[in-house]
Structure 1
């Protein structure tokens, strides 16, 4: 596996997205203009019958997003009380690629299943599903997680305090924490947060430039397709109806912008894959934000999250300014 990026026709990519959505991906458009011009959320279709488990998508993701990975400061501050938040340090295990970590936002799950008398070896690229109504964003008390107009769900590392609420409320427990980085180190390193949460951000910066997400661009088997969600769902149903296959992501958690199509039922895959920390399942998921308690929490949190995020950003700016001033003094 070389992990090198392969070239791809931007013209074909934009043509595939359709005229309405393609406009937002033009390289001349600023990120703000791209988001405001979106007419429909982007989704990806993963035809997992094609995936050979080569790992090129994992390598491509790491190569393109490596500059976003955390660089923690050690030794870590001791939290009080010590039992409140556990240290999660992946900085010496950056080569782990068989699960989600702060340094590995995409991995391949493999399953061997029997279905209708046939044996199947299925490989499944796993990352954030980018929910249409994401509980990680709706319930983040600091406003660090948010969904863009184009459907990408992002965690802002300069705002996140690493409290892991996003991981708790995510049905698949996708986000992963790295201790020793982020704003909590400047504010209350012994009492607040304990790091920053990380997950797939759908290569949002590449999409703003009219490029494909890295995992899609490098895949030699063309497992993934990206486009307006209505078109992606139409393609998914066409595949499923034609072949008698199965769909995951259309309804799960109220709908996601990651749509899997499989030749075998997902309940069989869910039983066959290894699950646990950093290894999400493929279980049925009800709409978590339809729950009255979660909905009430989101309504209560919304104004507070905005205020908190503003205070945190201001504190971050003032801390940076103070550091720059101290550096200038030392240079002088």
Structure 2
């Protein structure tokens, strides 16, 4: 039996390494697929749905994804080496930031000239997403339509995706996920959650919930070729954000107010070095080569062994259940 376990561990470790190497190769170019979709968000159109208790895009996203929100096992306990845990389960109605229960929010930005800008914020869906590269378990993938999505059945909650994300988008909920089965007191931390670009809708050629429910038509989803034409049409004399940031993203913002001005106003309301679940509009240069180095270092980390342990345990459980049925 010991030899059999050793064989399984070795085989699974090799499989994981091969899969990670393949993911590195696939994402290395950062070239969008022919089926890539783009969201264009017009900040001059968005009014934050001031006549509603909850902005329409936020409400639509929450309604569509509520069955996928985490239900943590309680009581929650800290996990080594952390002394705390991230728990938003008692803040499910919070809409002023990104949380595991709120995948899009509307940032109200008060400018120095007295004007107000409303900016819907969620995952940018980078063409060459660093979060996808750095995940040691391959929990993050990108669809043909460009949806960068986290698989909750594979995510270990290590939050490296958030660390490498220029906008620190993914948010963690403790008390759910693989770490509970592997080492609940030792590592992990839950599952990371974020907008998935309504991947299932785009795959079927349908509009994502946030866009289809926007009363001001401030959020558009278009195939890449049509999006470029639309951008040329509406961006004349205005400013664009997201087209080149971090090597290119699938979320393009258009505004008559310079994004440097919007960023300056946002920074006045944020504490430096604190992840408050609010993305800003900083000028993000590509960190693709750096993220590749991080990814390789992650693959060599001891945490991989925990993933192997889980896979071995799951396989043995499935085999035992199959034997019981025979």
TM-score under structure 1 length normalisation: 0.77
Q: Give the CA deviation at 1:277.
A: 1.2
Of 240, 243, 251, the match for 2:244 = 251
Q: 1:15 matched to which residue of 2? A: none
Q: Separation in 1 of the partners of 2:196 and 2:245? A: 20
CA deviations on 1:9-60 (whole Å, 9 max, x unpaired) are xxxxxxxxxxxxxxxxxxxxxxxxxxxxx62311100111100101000000
Q: Give the CA deviation at 1:96.
A: 0.5
The alignment partner of 2:182 has SS state of coil
Q: 2:7 matched to which residue of 1? A: none
Return closer, same or farther for 1:71/1:311 CA change in 2, 3 Å cut-off.
same
Q: Separation in 1 of the partners of 2:219 and 2:293? A: 36
Alignment of 1:46-85 (within 5 A): 46-54=41-49, 55-83=55-83
Return closer, same or farther for 1:82/1:53 CA change in 2, 3 Å cut-off.
closer
> Larger deviation: 271-280 or 309-318?
309-318
Q: Contact 2:112–2:265 (CA<8 Å) still a contact in 1?
A: no
Structure 2: unaligned runs, 5 residues or longer: 1-32, 50-54
Q: 1:290 matched to which residue of 2? A: 289
CA deviations on 1:197-247 (whole Å, 9 max, x unpaired) are 000011112223332111011111111111222321332232122xx1100
Q: CA RMSD in A?
A: 2.8
Q: Give the CA deviation at 1:149.
A: 2.2
Q: Separation in 2 of the partners of 1:303 and 1:230? A: 39
Alignment of 1:1-332 (within 5 A): 39-54=34-49, 55-83=55-83, 86-113=84-111, 119-241=114-236, 244-273=237-266, 274-275=269-270, 276-291=275-290, 294-299=291-296, 312=310, 315-316=313-314
The alignment partner of 1:235 has SS state of helix
> Larger deviation: 200-209 or 214-223?
200-209
Return closer, same or farther for 1:323/1:111 CA change in 2, 3 Å cut-off.
farther
Q: Contact 2:179–2:189 (CA<8 Å) still a contact in 1?
A: yes
TM-score under structure 2 length normalisation: 0.78
The alignment partner of 1:186 has SS state of helix
**Runs ≥4 in structure 1, deviation > 6 angstroms?**
302-311, 320-326
